[in-house]
Chain A
Amino acid sequence: MQYIRDLKKYHWPKGPQDAVRLMMQEPCAEIIAGGTELLVSGLKGKEVNNLIDITKAGLSYIKKERKSIKIGATTTISELQHAPLLKDYAGGILSEAARKFVSVQIRNVATIGGNIGAAMPSSDLAPVLMALDAKICVLGKENKEFAINGFYISKRKTAMAPYEIITEIELPLGAEDGKTGYAFKKIGRTEMDIALVNGASAITINDSDEVVTARLSLGSVAPNTIRCLEIENNLLGKKLTKESIAAACDNIAKSIDPKTDVRASAKYRGTIAKVIAARLIEEAYIKAGGKI
């Protein structure tokens, strides 16, 4: 099978600037990294005869700096899963989400930048990056930085402009005072399948076990991954109990917009989202040292 019938030329830019220049030169060009999304379903309705492969553009790395961990866009999901730096960061939820990402064969090839850029609502990395308050660094005519909350506009749509590529994902280090706990959850039909509902949480508490900051994100229950700001606000300043968590999640229907597809009905997704949200909050709170 020929993966793109009209493909004429395959480019290997040496750096991200080179990639952006090629995109501007070639009218029907698409960026490829691992290609596991692009070649399977990412090209529908697009006329593409040039591919620009950025896997040799120097964007594969995971490094710790003073205020953040920086992950190059073409770092593979397997590299995320096995990086000691990420196992020790934020309770290891990014490694855990990487472990739940389809199969070994796909994880060895698919990249973090590709997954974020594909902007599918079922991404297992997106909820985690939202809970971690990650930044997405983009290069086009100039360098830009987006907070991940707000980066997704809808299914397959991000805030990026044409001729821009994701270069780096930045995770903040030790920004919050107090003790923080994290959690990640995914409900899927099988080990390989994409999420029916997934989500992640980060909760910081003070010495009196009161919630100081809370971030809760859910995937597959809206056109793209969302932060549940209303639920987060309901938790602030409180010592949590099973009852208060359930109460905070009670109006979850207002935050989400689930759809019916072959995998699950909207009703099922809505019901599960409420359960997952409550469990994510509880787990992160307990991991932060809170007692329920």
Chain B
Amino acid sequence: MKLNLKVNSENKVFDIDVRDTLLDVLRANGYKSVKHGCETGECGACTVIINGNAVNSCIYPAIKCEDAEIITCEGLETDGKLSILQNKFVEMGAIQCGYCTPGMLLSAHALLMKNPNPKLEDVKEALSGNFCRCTGYKKPVDAVMAAAEQMKEAK
């Protein structure tokens, strides 16, 4: 069956099976930033943004995404340049092996879309569904706070 949706502001039509998860469909169509982790909605590596909300794509039926607007990590950069948020992750060492990073970036991006002035608690809440098994959480949290500051200045 056909699935019509928008991915990173581009209209797309994907050929899907009724049993596919959104994770399957995105990876099969080249969005490899979306990581396959626990398959049970616990680790957050597969996080994408659907209509403004961070969601675990591994337990989300693709068929639910008809007409939805999806953002993956590929959609955060513009003309090959990293976003402020992505740059802060790099600058502040909020990345180690990188497997959890796309999911963390999208959880943070979803927060900043809704709340450009997050408090520390808001950032911790937003990232609490993303597991990191190497660098920990302090640096990602600091990076999101710093990105929020810089985004305000850039406005």
Contacts and interface: CB of A to CB of B under 8 A. Distances in A.
Interface in A244-280: none
A8 interface: yes
B107 A36 contact: no
How many chain A residues sit at the interface, stated as a range, is 20 to 34
Contacts of B125: 99, 104
A104 B126 contact: yes
A241 interface: no
B126 A109 contact: no
B56 interface: yes
A282 B40 CA distance: 38
Contacts of B56: 36, 105-106, 109
A204 to B, nearest CB: 32
A44 interface: no
Contacts, number: 75
B61 interface: yes
Given A7-B18, A106-B129, A39 B54 contact: no
Interface residues of B, number: 30
Nearest to B53: A108
22 contacts: A1-B21, A1-B24, A2-B20, A3-B59, A10-B63, A35-B61, A36-B56, A40-B40, A51-B61, A102-B129, A104-B54, A104-B110, A104-B125, A104-B126, A105-B44, A105-B55, A105-B56, A106-B56, A108-B53, A109-B53, A109-B55, A191-B128
Nearest to B63: A10
B118 to A, nearest CB: 12
A53 interface: yes
B149 interface: no
Contacts of B41: 36, 40, 105-106
B15 interface: no
A40 B59 contact: yes
Contacts of A109: 53, 55-56, 60
